[in-house]
């Protein structure tokens, strides 16, 4: 029997949406107030959804302590209270929440092996949320 587990985590980070490939005018037209040279911040709500068979002995898809520890060490410590523009993964990529979602998905996919990663979802504001399920998903 396959079941899904979703855990929520919170972190805060800042970013400036700006592409070196565009002119200042194009950046302002594309990103609006999010192109502010001083950046802006968000209190992100991250959801990580994993799946797998329910273990007969534990009754769980995976040990929550393992998932929480992985997310704390590999995601929250990496992104919490950071300027995303200054991180290596965004040196050549605009740190949109879409791209942040993909980056987090890739980290979890590579490193967390206790259950199958289904998706990563990030709520940026009350009005904006983004999710990523991998390249081969529709």
Model pLDDT for residues 55-71, shown as the tens digit of each residue: 999 999 999 999 999 99
Among residues 73, 93, 88, 99, the alpha carbon closest in space to that of 11 is found at 73
pLDDT of residue 23: 97
**Residue 128's CATH number:** 3.30.479.10
118 in a structural domain? yes
52 in any annotated domain: yes
- Looking at residue 137, its pLDDT comes to 54
Encode pLDDT of 9-55 as tens digits. Answer: 999 999 999 999 999 999 999 999 999 999 999 999 999 999 999 99
Residue 62 lies in a domain: yes
Decide if 138 is inside a domain: no
Domain, as residue range, for 69: 2-132
Dump pLDDT digits (tens) for 78-117. 999 999 999 999 999 999 999 999 999 999 999 999 999 9
- 50 vs 118: CA distance, rounded Å: 5
pLDDT of residue 136 exceeding 90? no
Output the pLDDT for position 138: 47
| Contact indicator for 124, 97 with CB cutoff of 8 Å | yes
Position 1 scores a pLDDT of 79
Residue 72 near residue 108 (C-beta atoms within 8 A): no
Q: Which positions are catalytic? A: 34, 81, 124
CB 12 within 8 A of CB 44: yes
Tell me, yes or no, whether 137 lies in a domain.
Answer: no
Residue 83 lies inside a defined structural domain of this protein: yes
How many domains does the chain fold into?
1
Asked whether the predicted pLDDT for residue 135 surpasses 90, the reply is no
Domain membership flag for residue 17: yes
Encode burial over 62-77: b for 16+ CB neighbours within 10 A, e otherwise.
beeeebeebbeebbee
Q: 37 in a domain, yes or no?
A: yes
């Amino acid at each position: 029997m396959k079941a899904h587990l979703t855990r929520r985590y919170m972190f805060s980070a800042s970013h400036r949406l700006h592409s070196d490939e565009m002119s200042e005018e194009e950046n302002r037209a594309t990103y609006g107030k999010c192109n502010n040279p001083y950046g802006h911040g968000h209190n992100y709500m991250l959801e990580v959804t994993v799946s797998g068979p329910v273990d007969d002995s534990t009754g769980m898809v995976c040990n929550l302590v393992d998932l929480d520890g992985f997310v704390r060490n590999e995601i929250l410590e990496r992104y919490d209270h950071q300027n995303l523009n200054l991180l290596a993964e965004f040196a050549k990529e605009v740190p949109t929440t879409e791209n942040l979602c993909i980056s987090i998905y890739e980290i979890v996919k590579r490193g967390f092996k206790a259950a199958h990663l289904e998706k990563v979802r990030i709520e940026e504001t009350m009005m904006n949320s983004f999710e990523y399920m991998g390249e081969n998903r529709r």
